[in-house]
Amino acid sequence: MGLSPYDKKRYKESKLRRRQALYQSETGYIVPYRRSKKPIIIAACAAALLLIAAAVVLVVASLDNRDAASSSRQTDLNSEERLRVVNRANTVDKDFKPALKSFGGVKVHKDIVNSLEKLTEAAKSRGIDLKLTKGYVSYEDQKKLFDENLEVFLQKPEYTPVRAQAAAQKLVPEAGSCEAQTGLLVEFDLTDPKAKAFLERECINYGFILRFPEGKEDITHIQPLESAYRYVGRADAEKMRTFDMCLEEYVDYISNQSVIST
């Protein structure tokens, strides 16, 4: 015997309620079953949007990291540049010229500007006005400076040309043998005793060393110059202080270590 129209209606409603209850227990949505496809579609769209947003964030981050890495490669000196010794035995060509940038009224190698900024800012935070007096020097200007100093000694009767040359070289390197030509050597105004003490104490934390320290004249062949600081990078600056080495000694030490390790 078939169901009456009324019984069929009640049966369908009962079946629908059971399906609604099952759907609610599984999904948590309290909606009529016949509308159930809508929240599913909405949820799917939301998930898709979240995935797209996440993908965009990852792409942007990847591009930023790539740009940062590229910037780092462009601004960070490699060890060969940082530890390059320029002196009478290791000269640079007349046409040698580093990438320069102005800072503190002088020109310096562009890759040490950031370190100089941090150094001067740290000094300023302690009430010290750290001023630069000298930076990059061209071949022509260095030649002129050396010739002027040489002439002073040549004017003295007790100096032969050879002695005059040797004496002048201890004070001013000849053109091509001066590290100021690399843009990595700078000189500071040490009129304020606090500036001198600050540099002596803190320079290595910003990658700088005293280039011509007292007691190393036989190695550097330059008279001690307390105002001249050379950028070598923080890690190497810290090691040089620990080992009590000037740049020439440290470079020889590294070279010997490399030979031993091989």
Supply the CATH number for residue 226's domain.
3.30.1380.10
User: Is 95 inside a domain boundary?
Assistant: no
Does pLDDT of 163 surpass 70?
Answer: yes
Does pLDDT of 34 surpass 60?
Answer: no
Query: Do 118 and 164 reside in the same domain of the chain?
Result: no
User: Is 65 inside a domain boundary?
Assistant: no
Query: Do 124 and 142 reside in the same domain of the chain?
Result: no
User: Is 38 inside a domain boundary?
Assistant: yes
pLDDT band at 182 (very low <50, low <70, confident <90, very high): very high
24: domain range?
14-54
Residue type for position 17 = R
pLDDT band at 258 (very low <50, low <70, confident <90, very high): confident
- CB neighbours (10 Å) of residue 175? 21
User: Is 92 inside a domain boundary?
Assistant: no
112 membership: H or E segment, kind and range = none
User: Is 62 inside a domain boundary?
Assistant: no
Task: Provide the domain count of the chain.
Answer: 3
- Return the C-alpha torsion angle 94, 233, 205, 239, nearest 10: -110
- CB neighbours (10 Å) of residue 31? 13
**Closest by CA position to 207, among listed 96, 127, 102, 117:** 117
Does pLDDT of 65 surpass 70?
Answer: no
Q: What does the pLDDT average to over 81-109?
A: 94
User: Is 260 inside a domain boundary?
Assistant: yes
Q: pLDDT tens across 206-252, in order?
A: 999 999 999 999 999 999 999 999 999 999 999 999 999 999 999 99
**Bigger pLDDT: 11 vs 204:** 204
Tell me if 238 sits within 8 A of 203, measured CB to CB: no
pTM (predicted TM-score) = 0.69
Query: Do 156 and 207 reside in the same domain of the chain?
Result: no
Query: Do 130 and 151 reside in the same domain of the chain?
Result: no
User: Is 109 inside a domain boundary?
Assistant: yes
Strand partners, 109: 100
Residue type for position 199 = L
